Structure 1
Amino acid sequence: MPSTPPPEGRVRSAEELNAAIRALWTDGRGHPAVQLTAEQRAEYEQLCIELRQVERGDVTTAA
């Protein structure tokens, strides 16, 4: 199940992003070694980008 992006201006925490990443790898398949679909891979890459931004402090919340 694809994760939905946060509402405009909301920044997900590293914990939320890590949970979404883990869910991609284990969702319904029970084993993290299973290959992701192209759609899941794109979502994974976007989550990783978002996580790196949060970890570096590159994001700001909307006023």
Structure 2
Amino acid sequence: MTGVGRTPEQINREIRALWPPGAVEPTCRKAYQRLLVEWAAAMRAEQEQQQLAA
């Protein structure tokens, strides 16, 4: 867990569910963008935790 609520893996699964073969549907674009921001924050938090543990 990254401290931001969910792991990058959990968020990535939700992103992939919005991305059927092809492109993100226009109706899902805002949710997709929100998830990308959340995923990036989770990745940063996870990397920071790894650096602190090293």
Task: Give the paired residue count.
Answer: 43
Q: What are the Cα deviations for residues 31-59 of structure 1, in whole angstroms up to 9, with x where unaligned?
A: 2x144123x1000000000000011118x
Q: Normalising to structure 2: TM-score of the pair?
A: 0.67
**Residue type of the alignment partner of 1:11:** G
Runs of 4+ in structure 1 deviating by more than 6 angstroms, as ranges, are none
Alignment CA distance shift 1:35-1:15 (3 Å) = closer
Cα RMSD after superposing both structures: 2.0
Structure 2 equivalent of residue 48 of structure 1: 36
> CA offset at residue 12 of structure 1?
1.1
Kindly provide the amino acid, as one letter, of the partner of residue 21 in structure 1: I
Percent identical residues: 30
Instruction: Answer 1 or 2: which has greater helix percent.
Output: 2
- Give the unaligned 5+ runs of structure 1: 1-9, 59-63
